[in-house]
Structure 1
Amino acid sequence: MSIQANKQLVLEGQVHIGIPEILRSAVEHALRMLVRDLETVLGAKPQLVTGTDKKAELCIRLAVEKDDIPKRSETFGFRFHSNSGISRMEIIGHDDLGLVYGILEFSRIYLGIQPFWFWADQCITKQTQINIPCLDYDAPVLKVRYRGWFVNDEVSLIGWKDPYPPTREVWEPVFEALLRSGGNMVIPGTDLPRDGIHYELASEMGLWVTHHHAEPLGAEMFLRAFPGRNASYQEAPELFESLWAEAIEEQKDMKVLWVLSFRGQGDAPFWHNDPSFDTSEKRGAMISKVIRKQYDMIGSSVQNPVYCVALYGEIAELFKGGYVELPDDVIKIWADNGYGKMVSRRHNNQNLRVPSLPTADDRGRDGLYYHVTFHDLQASNHLTMYPGSATFLKQEIETAFAAGTDDYLLINCGNIRPHVYSLDILRELWSVGTIDVSKHLNEFVSSYYASHHDELEELYQSYTEAAIQYGPHADDLAGDEYYHHPARQIIGHWLQGKCEQPDSRLFWAVGEVPFSQQVKNFEDLLAQGIQKWRAWLLRCDEVLAKLGTEDLRRATDQLRFHGALHLSGCEGFYWLCRSYREYQEQRYPQAFVYASESIWSYKKGLDVLRDAEHGKWDRFYRADWLTNIESTVNNVDTLRRFLRMHGDSPDFFLWYKEYVMPETEKHIYLENTHRNPLSDDELAQQLKCLTT
């Protein structure tokens, strides 16, 4: 290979990569990715040689003084040299993560491997040679110091493969995408078994690890370690402290962002286990005391520790009220409401929307915990893409940065695959601090699709316009859980014979009105949603019909999948509401037919999940335990059986005889020739035909 007269380095065939004699694990992982990327693009597996080998066209090494690479942690640069006819490019980093980011940035710029290549099924372009302009490059300073993902509600990752807890096969693509996005920290999963590989592998790949706010210091939950004991720090401080000491010992040699916190068991306020703390003063004093104890324990065992406190739920309220005192060097993490708005989250029907950002007189360091996916048993998006617009995300994050929260940004990334576009927006924001949403969308679509970019961009933009707005706020947009959790609540309320009173669990969505009106309010919103989602899907199908085979599969998974889940859920919930209206009027056969329409619609959602489970994604959605479409289908089926009891019982032949059987047959049939009642689906189809 050589640097040509126009100052380009040409790589072709088998590339030789010079590497240091001593490799840290994070760099080894990045080299594994680079070898795979080069082999995919050029068709030949690179050869790794020592850094002094003159064959090396690429050289990976740590910086020395003469390199003039900016002296910042995690930074890197590219340098080009030509001596005695031997040409090379050097990827130089100041530390392990600097080398990792340099390697992955080389892969993105020159090989075209995008951050979410695995999760979006990017089609990698084969090349006979790679032409690299010989221009030195220094990586810019990223906006946010600590940038990462909380892999939370990760049921798809858990259910995808048989081994539990998930193995390297599952976690490596997660951590690779995070590193390719410029991330440097992770909470790898929620309450997974402690013998899993997740924390070890994250650290091995160079990431800082941090903790769930319900598991301070990453310690074992109290009631798991001491079953049967009362989880009261006041009663048994030595037991809590023994768990914290054990966690510190286990992690003291890792890169850890230590989360200080004091919540009760099961992610609830601690006073649920210790009701003597019945005032804000008592609660705040105990939280302050515990956090100071954790802070001191870490400080005595770990060099230069980094501390965080999640201002989430009741701790945020107590801190805002002045009841919690924190050490000055602790990063305060402010949380959105789960729907992307930087206000306090909704608790059942209480939605105070207290601003969740530091004030102008705030001291110390601040960061963000932000959701692009959420699970709250109400209206959140879990299986589907974030329903808000890119402009909304831009406004919220840029406003938060302006308030000084740029020390830390932790994103709830869920199962990654459904949330690639939103995560890529946040990647740009944590890197640069701002985003041109139109330019970013153009680059995103161009990176993952080969053609019809303008039309695909329009689909990404209009997706948010189809979402049901169930409340007065811009973030009151329905995700996939909206069609399932409230629907199952309605069925339970109905079948328990409580129809004479409203369901208080639904006040947040449809108001404190009689139950029949609650159902009607859902019905009216769902009717509008059906129109909008049908129109969006129609447009989507028009665009997809123009795409080549690979783009069609990708667009089906990354775009149509989401709209189809919305429409199937919307229709299923709508027909459930219509069924209740007919039931109220004692039109039981019609209620039965509409309940059947509900089941058939919801089942389309299961078909959408199964269609997306092709190739490497086989069984990816089999653990849909949170939105849980199958549970909704089963709930509506229970309802349908209940409705058939109203007039077709006990022989389950009466509706057939009354509505379907020819009039002449009703007077001459014999019982012994009609002993096999129609199934619910068969009867519903025949009754439906009479009304359509």
Structure 2
Amino acid sequence: MKKGFIGLVFLWVTQICCAQFSLRSDQPIKLACDNAEEKVVQTALKLFIRDYQSVFSASAAVDARQGNIIVGTVGKSPLLKAVSADVSALTGKKQAFLLQVLPDGKLLVAGSDSHGTAYGIMELSRLIGVSPWEWWADVTPEKKTSFVLSAEYQTLQSPSVEYRGIFINDEDWGLMPWSSQTYEPSDIKGHIGPKTNARIFELLLRLRANTYWPAMHECTLPFFLTEGNRKVAEEYGIFIGSSHCEPMVCSAAGEWRRRGQGDYDYVNNSASVYKFWEDRVKEVAQQGNIYTLGMRGVHDGQMQGAKTVAEQKAVLERVLKDQRGLLQKYGNKDVTAIPQAFIPYKEVLDIYNAGLQVPDDVTLIWCDDNYGYIRHFPTAEERARKGGNGIYYHVSYWGRPHDYLWLGTFSPYLLHQQMKLAYDRGIQK
């Protein structure tokens, strides 16, 4: 009898110490999250609350102190100190998250930084059955009556590439008219506003992407000249960058005729071009940006004022020095702490191969040949650079002599093969 009694006590204690995490359609829940968490975390919480309502037809709310789900960023959230979970595995990782069922049956969502925490929240949305494409591809979530994670459940995830995202290019025929005429009607010519960008950024956040090069053709009002766009980028934790011909997050094609004076020429009109860049850096220095360095023509052409490769190289050396001076003056005295990129695209690759010295902390972004084949893979010396390497790969293209704007002229497998080859050869920044 004693033996049997001891066995029953043991089983009861086991159930108390190792409870599973469960959600039910008749169960409102609370998510405990400190109010001081970054905007991207707050945005992810709002998305999850919407997802929970869609799946379980029940309410969810955020509480600063207690809840069924404990959400927090390492080093920032006091809530993590109150739970017994070991979050040391997140130390030293960027954008990483840990999901773990706690002994009391609550779920911990911890991030190594704010992006990691937000991705952890979105992982929970994915687990309950919400596709990242639920809006863009009309993937309606399936209704559920219950959801369970076992008492032993734990997942630790982190990205293998630090900056991941898309370039909205050749928007003339698709995104811009759809946005300005249908989804977000506007009397402003070429308007792609915050409502449209919020939908794009939501998809990126759900897919764990964090980087965006905005549309930049002359037909479109530039991103930073459109009210509300900066704010929505901050809310979704999106790093704003710019393409191979758009240095210092300035859309030269769309902005020079609005803000510039004279020719876009750093040989004969450097003071005006410098001010053009300076005004933008002063405006956005405290936002999350990846600054493209260098200079080309106003729109995807060779720079003005310099003809030979040697002349262009001399101009670019001066440009790089002046641009980094602006970042140091308005952004961070330690300029190496600011994300920067240099893109050897088209004729700029010839200049780079002629011996142009790019600062070691600047990421080199290599390009394909516009038809799916990467033109250059980093050498051992380039792989060892502090700034690392990136890739700019066309899945659509508008340019002479052949356009492919809707259906690519190469196979999906070629894209996979080339991108995997790029990663395996050290393009991982």
Aligned to 1:195: 225
Pair 1:96 & 2:128 matched:
no
Return the offset for 1:220: 5.7
1:588-627 CA distances to partner (integer Å, 9 max, x unpaired)? xxxxxxxxxxxxxxxxxxxxxxxxxxxxxxxxxxxxxxxx
Unaligned runs of at least 5 residues, structure 1? 344-355, 408-692
1:237 is aligned to 2:274: no
Asked if structure 2 preserves the Cα contact closer than 8 Å seen for 1:292 and 1:327, the reply is: no
Query: What displacement does 1:295 show?
Result: 1.7
Note the residue ranges of structure 2 that are not aligned, 5 or more in a row: 1-13, 75-79
Residue number among 162, 177, 186 corresponding to 2:212 in the alignment: 186
Q: Is the 1:25–1:205 contact (alpha carbons within 8 Å) kept by the matching residues of 2?
A: yes
Cα distance change, pair 305–37 in 1 and its aligned pair in 2 (3 A) = same
Residue 206 (structure 1) aligns with: 237
Q: Does 1:77 align with 2:98?
A: yes
Matched, 1:358 2:391: no
Structure 1 residue matching 2:278: 3-state secondary structure: helix
Pairing partner for 2:50 from 36, 47, 53: 36
Percent identity for Structure 1 against Structure 2 = 23
Letter in 2 for 1:185: T
Partner AA of 1:57 in structure 2? N
Partner letter of residue 72 of structure 2?
A: R
Q: Check the 8 A contact 2:103/2:151 in 1, yes or no.
A: no
Give 1:149 shift. 1.1
Would you say the 8 A contact 1:223–1:265 is kept in 2? Answer: no
AA of the residue aligned to 2:377: L
Contact 2:101 2:150 in 1 (8 A): no
1:186 touches 1:202 (CA, 8 Å); kept in 2? no
1:77 Cα deviation from its structure 2 partner: 0.6
Aligned to 1:476: none
Q: 1:257 to 1:358 in 2, by over 3 A?
A: same
Name the residue aligned to 2:61: 47
Match of 1:317 in 2: 350
Matches within 5 A, 1:129-148: 129-148=146-165
- Deviation, 1:389, is 2.9
List per-residue Cα deviations over 1:510-533 (Å, max 9, x = no partner).
xxxxxxxxxxxxxxxxxxxxxxxx
TM-fit CA distance, 1:371 = 1.6
| Deviation digits for residues 265-320 of structure 1 (CA, Å, limit 9, x no counterpart) | 2221113xx2xx23211111111221222122212332321211111111112212
Match of 1:336 among 359, 362, 368: 368
Residues 94 and 158 of structure 2 are in contact (CA less than 8 Å); yes or no, is this contact kept in structure 1? no
Alpha-carbon separation, structure 1, partners of 2:308 and 2:320 = 18
User: How far, CA to CA, are the matches of 2:260 and 2:280 in structure 1?
Assistant: 16
Q: Answer yes or no: is the 8 Å Cα contact 2:309–2:350 preserved in 1.
A: no
Q: Which has the larger radius of gyration?
A: 1
Residue 10 of structure 1 aligns to which amino acid in structure 2? S
Structure 2 partner of 1:8? 20
Is this contact kept in 2: 1:77–1:136, CA < 8 A?
Answer: no
Over 3 Å counting, the alpha-carbon distance change for 1:119 and 1:261 in structure 2 is same
Amino acid at match of 1:336: D
Q: Give CA deviations for 1:181-218 in whole Å, capped at 9, x if unaligned.
A: 22121113225333313333112211111112222101
With the length of structure 1 as denominator, give the TM-score of the two structures: 0.52
Tell me which residue corresponds to 1:177: 203
Question: TM-score under structure 2 normalisation?
Answer: 0.82
* Structure 1 match to 2:5: none
Q: What's the counterpart of residue 301 of structure 1?
A: 330
The total of aligned residue pairs comes to 379
Paired residue for 2:260? 226
Question: How far 1:378 sits from its partner (Å)?
Answer: 4.2
Q: Which moved more, 1:195-204 or 1:285-294?
A: 195-204
Distance 1:402 1:67 in 2: 30
Name the CA shift for 1:390/1:133 in 2 (closer, same or farther; >3 Å).
farther
Letter in 2 for 1:258: Y
* Structure 2 residue matching 1:334: 3-state secondary structure: strand
- For the residue of structure 2 that corresponds to 1:270, the secondary structure is coil
Q: Which residue of 2 aligns with 1:690?
A: none
Instruction: Tell me if structure 2 keeps the 8 A contact 1:188–1:202.
Output: no
Instruction: Report how far residue 406 of structure 1 moved.
Output: 1.1
Q: What secondary structure does 2:315 align onto?
A: helix
Q: Show the 5 A alignment for 1:381-460.
A: 381-384=404-407, 386-407=408-429
Counterpart of 1:28, as a letter, is Q
The residue matched to 1:158 in structure 2 has which SS? helix
What are the Cα deviations for residues 407-451 of structure 1, in whole angstroms up to 9, with x where unaligned? Answer: 1xxxxxxxxxxxxxxxxxxxxxxxxxxxxxxxxxxxxxxxxxxxx
